[in-house]
């Protein structure tokens, strides 16, 4: 099997350029030059970047190269979605060992390109480098939004309703299955596959983010990457906190059974698991129904899960109205993960 070392950087770059060669609207210069050139971008440009590192963000024991490329693109597109930005371009940088197989790397690159194309963008450049350590991917996403319309964090005010798109807890349950911590004996094969897919190949809510911007009804928004509890805090203005109804959480199918298998409550996976890449947003109560209709129109749903209140201490309320005391910490790159 041909390796990166056997064909060298120039031939690998040429092979990557073929994958990204199909013309895309607004791309004047793409892969293969010193830099990409885009036309008709803006009025405001939205930029984000994210890394995936082998052994931290994925394991080759359970993630294929297509999965890795898909997720690397999706997590960046999710950041654009949270801002309500229209994707325009992705740049991909790879740190590779010379022993990597060319076929695997091209599979990864093709997955990035497919995700870009799916949301109206294109893979337009990046970088290649050598490493003696784990595989590292870094994607930079470029988006655009009308002037003054980007959805910010930290603007939700007391009295606002909190809504979350889709369902939560699936990616965390999928990770438990992939790692063999849970076996999913109480879950149907279809549900197990869906949970694993949410971990390996998340769906960024790009259409919803753009629709939220167009509606002008959402005050603040963030994507659910580090856990719903942690990311809900990102939509709060100063001096505010949140009150979440545990019974209202749109917990994904199969999560409760996985949680029971590992001795944890389902709401803990839903609030603390992370990587669902849904959107959590704040809006005035009078706009809830309109935003729910908007979500249905783009193929998803928005569920009210609580409200923003004045204060500093978040409150979790169970089905009986009692205050739950434990708030899942969510994901932190620099704190040991269980």
Tell whether the model's pLDDT for residue 218 goes beyond 80: yes
Query: Alpha-carbon distance 145 to 43, whole Å?
Result: 6
Whether 32 contacts 129, CB under 8 Å: no
Count other Cβ atoms within 10 Å, centred on residue 333: 10
**In terms of domains, do 132 and 167 share one?**
no
150 domain-assigned = no
27 is a domain residue = yes
Structure tokens at 186: 């109480």
Residue 22 falls inside a structural domain? yes
Q: How crowded is the C-beta side of 267, counted as CA atoms within 13 Å?
A: 16
What pLDDT score does 337 carry? 53
Q: Looking at residue 49, which CATH number applies to its domain?
A: 3.30.1330.10
Query: Per residue in 58-81, pLDDT tens?
Result: 999 999 999 999 999 999 999 999
93 has which bridge partners?
A: 127, 138
Quick one: 265 and 123 in the same domain? no
137/283 same-domain check: no
Distance CA 124, CA 113 (A): 9
- Between CA 52 and CA 73 the distance in angstroms is 10
Q: What is the mean pLDDT of the chain?
A: 93
Window from 27-31, 107-111, 254-258, 278-282 with minimum mean pLDDT: 27-31
Does 186 reside within a domain?
Answer: yes
Q: How confident is the model at residue 22 (pLDDT cuts 50, 70, 90)?
A: confident
Model confidence band, residue 42 (pLDDT cutoffs 50, 70, 90) = confident
47 and 173 in a single domain? The answer is no
Residue 53 within a domain: yes
Does one domain contain both 136 and 229?
no
Contact 207, 269 (CB under 8 A): no
Q: Please count the other Cβ atoms lying within 10 Å of the Cβ belonging to residue 122.
A: 24
Q: Please check whether residue 40 lies inside any domain of the structure.
A: yes
Closest CA to 142 of 13, 261, 46: 46
Q: Is residue 329 part of a domain?
A: no
Q: Is the pLDDT of residue 325 over 80?
A: no
Please indicate, yes or no, whether residues 205 and 232 belong to a single structural domain of this protein.
yes
Q: Is the peptide bond before 183 cis (omega within 30 degrees of 0)?
A: no
Contact 236, 312 (CB under 8 A): no
**Same domain, yes or no: 167 and 316:** yes
State residue 302's pLDDT score: 98
- Domains contained in the chain, number: 2
Structure tokens at 291: 């935003």
> Are both 175 and 284 inside the same structural domain?
yes
Band the pLDDT of 338: cuts 50, 70, 90.
very low
**pLDDT for residue 332:** 56
Q: Residue 39: what are its φ and ψ, rounded to 5°?
A: -115, 160
Task: Tell me which of 145, 175, 193 is where a domain ends.
Answer: 145
Cα distance between residue 102 and residue 1, in whole Å: 8
User: With left for phi above 0 and alpha for psi between -120 and 50, is residue 148 left, alpha or beta?
Assistant: left
Q: Would residue 330 be called left, alpha or beta, if left means φ above 0 and alpha means ψ between -120 and 50 degrees?
A: left
Q: Are residues 136 and 8 in the same domain?
A: yes
Query: Which residue in 210, 76, 62 sits closest to 139, CA to CA?
Result: 76
Q: Phi and psi for 25 in degrees, rounded to 5?
A: -55, 130
Q: Provide the CATH number for the domain around residue 297.
A: 3.90.650.10
Q: What residues are paired with 319 via a beta bridge?
A: none
Q: What confidence tens digit (pLDDT) does each residue in 298-310 have?
A: 999 999 999 999 9
pLDDT at residue 51 is higher than 70: yes
Domain boundary at 121, 145, 169, which?
Answer: 145
Per DSSP bridges, beta strands 315-317 and 323-324 are antiparallel
140 in the same domain as 211: no
Q: What is the mean pLDDT of residues 107-121?
A: 97
The residues near 113 (Cβ < 8 Å, ≥ 6 apart) are 19, 20, 122, 123
What is residue 133's predicted lDDT score, i.e. its pLDDT? 96
Judged against a pLDDT cut of 70, whether residue 187 lies above it is answered with yes
Question: The domain containing residue 58 runs over which residues?
Answer: 4-145
- Write down which residue in 118, 145, 172 finishes a domain: 145
**Same domain (yes/no): 214, 170:** yes
165-179 confidence digits (pLDDT tens): 999 999 999 999 999
* Rounded mean pLDDT, 87-106: 97
């Amino acid at each position: 099997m041909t390796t990166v070392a056997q064909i060298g950087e120039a031939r690998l770059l040429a092979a990557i350029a073929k994958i990204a060669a199909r013309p895309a609207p607004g791309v004047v210069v793409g892969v293969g030059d010193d830099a990409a050139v885009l036309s008709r971008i803006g009025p405001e440009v939205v930029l984000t970047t994210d890394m995936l590192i082998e052994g931290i963000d994925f394991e080759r024991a359970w993630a294929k190269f297509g999965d890795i490329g898909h997720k690397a693109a999706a997590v960046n597109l999710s950041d654009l979605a949270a801002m309500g930005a229209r994707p325009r371009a992705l740049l991909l940088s790879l740190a590779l060992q010379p022993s990597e197989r060319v076929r695997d790397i091209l599979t990864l690159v093709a997955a990035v390109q497919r995700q870009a194309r799916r949301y109206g963008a294109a893979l337009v450049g990046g970088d290649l480098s050598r490493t003696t350590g784990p595989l590292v991917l870094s994607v930079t996403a470029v988006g655009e939004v009308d002037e003054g319309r980007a959805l910010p964090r930290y603007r939700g005010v007391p009295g606002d309703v909190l809504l979350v798109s889709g369902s939560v807890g699936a990616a965390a349950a999928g990770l438990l299955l992939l790692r063999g911590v849970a076996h999913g004996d109480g879950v149907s094969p279809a549900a197990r596959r869906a949970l694993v897919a949410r971990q390996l190949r998340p769906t960024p809510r790009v259409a919803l983010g753009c629709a939220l911007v167009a509606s002008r009804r959402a005050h603040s928004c963030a994507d659910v990457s580090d856990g719903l509890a942690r990311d809900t805090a990102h939509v709060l203005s100063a001096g505010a906190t949140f009150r979440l109804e545990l019974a209202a959480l749109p917990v994904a199918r199969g999560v409760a059974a996985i949680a029971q298998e590992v001795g944890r409550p389902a709401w803990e996976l839903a609030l603390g698991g992370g990587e669902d890449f849904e959107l959590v947003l704040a809006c005035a109560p009078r706009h809830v129904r309109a935003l729910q209709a908007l979500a249905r129109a783009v193929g998803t749903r928005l569920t009210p899960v609580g409200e923003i209140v004045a204060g500093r201490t978040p409150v979790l309320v169970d089905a009986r109205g009692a205050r739950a005391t434990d708030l899942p910490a969510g994901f932190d790159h620099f704190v040991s993960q269980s």
